[in-house]
Amino acid sequence: MTEKTSGISGEEAGHGSGPVAAPGARVILGNEPGSFAWGVLAKRHPALIQQVRDAFPYGRRPHEALDALLDEIINGVVEPLAPSERDHSQWSAWGQEYFGRPWFDAPFLWAESYFYRRLLAAIDYFGTGPWQGVDPFAPFKQAELRGAAVDEELRALDALADAPADERATALLRASLWGNRADLGFRVTEGESASSDAAGGLVADDSAVLWQLLPAGALSTVAVVADNAGRELIPDLILIDHFLEHRHAERVVLHVKPYPYFVSDAMTSDVVDCLRRLTQAPGEAGAIGGRLWQAMATGRLEIRTHSFFCAPLPYEEMPEDLRQEFEAATLTLFKGDLNYRRLVGDRMWDATAPFGDLTAYFPGAVAALRTLKSDVIAGLGQETLATLERSGSAWRTSGTHALIQVRR
């Protein structure tokens, strides 16, 4: 079911111009009962509030704030951040059109982002008290990282150690792609979906173009914009090791979130946890962990973050300093569903709209590795789309299909 589907853009659009919305490419809202976006707001977010309440022995004030947030989402209207919050003015600007309206009437991307910011406010993450800087999702991430599934996945690396480089490259790229199913927020309501045939669930495959952009021996810099921690970040790090070890990249910059976001999104502390997990493992996994640890020390692997990664905005609105970061890279590789939504715009595009056209604004070559877990999709071949539509399955949102899309 795979076809080569990447579009090669023409002249790069001006900064901030972004893709032009095609007729019918409406912004995704959460106000259609039964839709995926509605389910996130009506079911997933309340479930997460309860999980956060249960994960820590918070005092009375955080419990009351979490209760108030839950009631506001289900029965009330969107309220602004308290004036005492450090980024009150920024969110006031971002949310001026949506405050005073039901959460379900706001753009889905904005509502999801604001939910996580409000959740952190409820537990005083940015305050000066004892809960300052305590990741409310850390217990979920740590439990997954310690799980038997990770042990099994790390042991499987031993069988790849002596494989031909091209075979290993394909396997590690696919592992990074399908690792995107390891999304703790997604599994709160959906269960841990898995395709019975991962390769058969690949709806677009531009992996050949990706490797063409990163020939062995070139002095390339690759930017990797991470998505989830734990079981997704480990295969991402292993793929980064392959880039460095086989000289597909001279240097890799790994971009992570500056604070907890979307339950399992990776922060610097999560990268460190994953590196420790690797270095403490036996066999090939331990060797990879050691190389990555050394790469950090020598600057061949660098971690960076930016406040924009937690903004409720598409990448077409990225600030100039971040744009310059990506412009300096040979290739920027975006992991995951949220990054994809921000990359092409969180709209109901015609599924065959060229990926290259929707990312023409981006400053340089860009790749997306994504397991499908939301409605937005672009760049599919007509035959592939017809086959998917005939299947009658929830292929856009079930996590059973994935894509690799590249724009030179």
Domains of the chain and any CATH numbers:
36-134 (no CATH), 139-407 (3.40.50.10880)
User: CA-CA distance, 369 to 124, in Å (whole number)?
Assistant: 34
User: What is the sign, positive or negative, of the torsion defined by CA atoms of 319, 321, 323, 326?
Assistant: negative
Only one residue has tokens 């962990």, namely: 289
What pLDDT does residue 181 have? 72
Q: What CA–CA distance (Å, rounded) separates 146 from 127?
A: 30
CB-CB neighbours of 210 under 10 Å: 21
Contact 263, 143 (CB under 8 A): no
CB 85 within 8 A of CB 126: yes
Percent of residues in the chain assigned helix, strand, coil, to nearest 5 = 50, 10, 40
pLDDT of residue 197: 40
Distance CA 384, CA 256 (A): 33
CA distance 374 to 346: 9
pLDDT of residue 381: 97
Dihedral sign, Cα of residue 328, residue 332, residue 337, residue 341: positive
Q: Give the closest residue to 206 by CA, choosing from 22, 5, 1.
A: 5
pLDDT at 180: 74
The reported pLDDT for the residue numbered 22 is 54
Please give the pLDDT value at position 4. Answer: 37
Locate 238 and state its tokens: 């292993």
Please give the pLDDT value at position 11: 29
Q: How many CB atoms lie within 10 A of CB 296?
A: 16
How many other β-carbons are positioned within 10 Å of the β-carbon of residue 3?
Answer: 15
**What pLDDT score does 183 carry?**
58
Strand, helix or coil at 194? coil
User: What pLDDT was estimated at residue 182?
Assistant: 59
Amino acid at 221: T
Give the helix/strand (H/E) hosting 358: helix 355-358
pTM (2 d.p.): 0.92
> Cα–Cα–Cα angle for 194, 115, 76, nearest 5°?
120
204: β partners: 403
Task: Name residues of the chain where pLDDT drops below 70.
Answer: 1-24, 182-200
230's CB contacts (< 8 A; 6+ apart) are 141, 144, 145, 150, 182, 184, 264, 270, 274
CB 246, CB 165: distance < 8 Å = yes
Using an 8 Å Cβ cutoff, are 45 and 73 in contact?
yes
Torsional sign, CA 387, 393, 397, 400: negative
Give the per-residue pLDDT at 270.
98
Give Cα 173 distance to the centre of its chain: 16
